[in-house]
Amino acid sequence: MQDIEAIGDLLKQPQTVLITTHQNPDADAMGSSLGLAGYLKKKGHRVTVVTPTDYPTGLHWLSGNDEVVAFEEKVRVQVSQLMEEASVIFCLDFSSLDRIRDLGPMVRQARATKILIDHHLEPEAFADLAYWDPSAAATTQLVFYLINRLGDKDLIDIPIAECLYAGLMTDTGSFRHPSTTGDVHRMAADLVDLHIDVSSIHRRIFDNTSLDKLRLLGYVLNEKLKVRPEYKFAYITLTADELKRFRSKTGDTEGMVNYALSVEGVVMAAILIDRGEEIRMSFRSIGEFSVRELASTHFNGGGHRNAAGGRSSLSLEETEQHLLAVLPQYQQQLLETV
Ligand code: 5GP
Ligand code: MN
């Protein structure tokens, strides 16, 4: 699944490129998409980035953001046209078409050559070409290697480097997850050598929190964080009403689950959020315990061993009960995890 040469051959001709990424894009999704877009534009391709949903304003500083088309009903016709015109569609930072909402059927039907660049497990076989490596710490790492392998390292300028660094930094949890290898630091070093402003990037991403988001966090930590020591498990539930009360915006709940995981003695954490049409769940774990297995077995989800997501069409309370009901099967494994 490392079709780098074939991807390079395809890019020898000027292409009309559409780049897309997963719903509620994070810094790796946007950083890889906009970093790749910046590079492809320099190579003379026509490029448009289309996201399945909007994303936090804290990512709007990424270079190329102004030209991103975020899907909503009123741009459906425009997006369909872009899909039809595209000769190449890059799918970044997701591995199955159900992760891109309304764009899924459009990508499936499109005539373009589809290229997957991703680090999630178990990719769906929809792409014609792929550069897929589940051991990569971030999709921006793969974009960085792709540009290098195509001999174009010199085309990585500061705006592109900032995009790539943003994804690498966030997907490694600021260089502390087990995915943080020597290669990760070597890539970071290469980018830092270009004189990107590292502390400013950290500040723009992490110290850029709206008061509404902070107040929601305060409320959640005070009132909604529950700990089940018998499972070394902590979790948070959020109703649609609570989200509304705190004027929650896209991305405001991002990272919240990590507070549950940070409780001492806890090895697995979850957040269950009522998004109206469905309950969205995020899982985190440490060590050997696989939340991917739990999410895919019980909650129509997937992801990585230590970070996974899922969904449920039950009510929020029923979903919570379901989760608590499956925990006994994992109790021994959880208690053995340190
Ligand atoms: P998050 O909790 O941040 O939304 O997601 C954690 C990880 O799990 C991410 O890598 C994300 O791509 C993956 N993930 C989240 N939801 C799903 C899902 O419904 N299906 C699959 N296959 N992966 C998911
Ligand atoms: Mn990623």
Ligand 2: centre distance to CA 290 (Å): 17
pLDDT the model gives residue 186: 98
Query: Cα(69)–Cα(51) distance, rounded to whole angstroms?
Result: 6
Label the pairing between strands 268-274 and 233-238: parallel
Instruction: Give the position, in ligand 1's atom list, of the atom nearest the Cα of 311.
Output: 19
Domain 4-206 shares a fold with domain 211-336: no
pLDDT tens for 154-175 read: 999 999 999 999 999 999 999 9
The phi-psi region of residue 90 (left if phi > 0; otherwise alpha if psi is between -120 and 50; otherwise beta) is: beta
pLDDT the model gives residue 268: 98
Instruction: Give the position, in ligand 1's atom list, of the atom nearest the Cα of 121.
Output: 22
Ligand 2: centre distance to CA 222 (Å): 30
Instruction: Give the position, in ligand 1's atom list, of the atom nearest the Cα of 282.
Output: 2
Q: Which CATH superfamily is domain 4-206 in?
A: inorganic pyrophosphatase (n-terminal core) (3.90.1640.10)
The phi-psi region of residue 84 (left if phi > 0; otherwise alpha if psi is between -120 and 50; otherwise beta) is: alpha
Ligand 2: centre distance to CA 237 (Å): 24
- Substitution site in 99, 119, 179 for ligand 1 pocket (most atoms within 8 Å of beta carbon): 99
Q: Which residues, in sequence order, are bridge partners of residue 132? A: 118
Q: Is the dihedral angle over the CA atoms 135, 140, 146, 148 positive or is it negative? A: negative
pLDDT the model gives residue 132: 97
What percent of the chain has pLDDT above 90?
A: 95
Across 271-286, average pLDDT: 96
Contacts of 232 (CB under 8 A, 6+ apart): 265, 266, 267, 268, 334, 335, 337
In this structure, the number of other CB atoms found within 10 A of the CB of residue 148 comes to 14
Q: Are 152 and 123 in contact (CB under 8 A)?
A: no
Q: 184 pLDDT exceeds 90?
A: yes
Confidence band for 94, pLDDT divided at 50, 70 and 90 = very high
Atom 2 of ligand 1: nearest residue by CA position? 282
Q: Are 46 and 17 in contact (CB under 8 A)?
A: yes
Identify the residues whose C-beta falls under 6 Å from ligand 1.
Answer: 22, 96, 120, 282, 301-304, 307-311
Instruction: Give the position, in ligand 1's atom list, of the atom nearest the Cα of 281.
Output: 2
pLDDT the model gives residue 250: 78
Atom 6 of ligand 1: nearest residue by CA position? 308
Query: Cα(303)–Cα(290) distance, rounded to whole angstroms?
Result: 10
Ligand 2: centre distance to CA 4 (Å): 19
pTM of the model: 0.90
Nearest ligand, CA 260: 1
Nearest ligand, CA 29: 2
For residue 290, give the amino acid letter: S
Instruction: Give the position, in ligand 1's atom list, of the atom nearest the Cα of 94.
Output: 12
Ligand 2: centre distance to CA 176 (Å): 15
Token pair belonging to 103: 């764009």
Of the candidates 240, 252, 249, 241, the residue with the CA atom closest to the CA atom of residue 214: 252
Ligand 1: centre distance to CA 185 (Å): 25
Average pLDDT, the chain: 97
pLDDT tens for 213-263 read: 999 999 999 999 999 999 999 999 999 999 999 999 878 899 999 999 999
Nearest ligand, CA 311: 1
Class of domain 211-336: alpha beta
pLDDT the model gives residue 18: 98
pLDDT the model gives residue 249: 86
- Substitution site in 300, 304, 305, 311 for ligand 1 pocket (most atoms within 8 Å of beta carbon): 304
Within the chain, how many helices (H) and strands (E) appear? 13, 12
Q: 122 pLDDT exceeds 90?
A: no
pLDDT tens for 138-159 read: 999 999 999 999 999 999 999 9
Ordered by start, the domain boundaries in the chain are 4-206, 211-336
Query: Cα(233)–Cα(272) distance, rounded to whole angstroms?
Result: 14
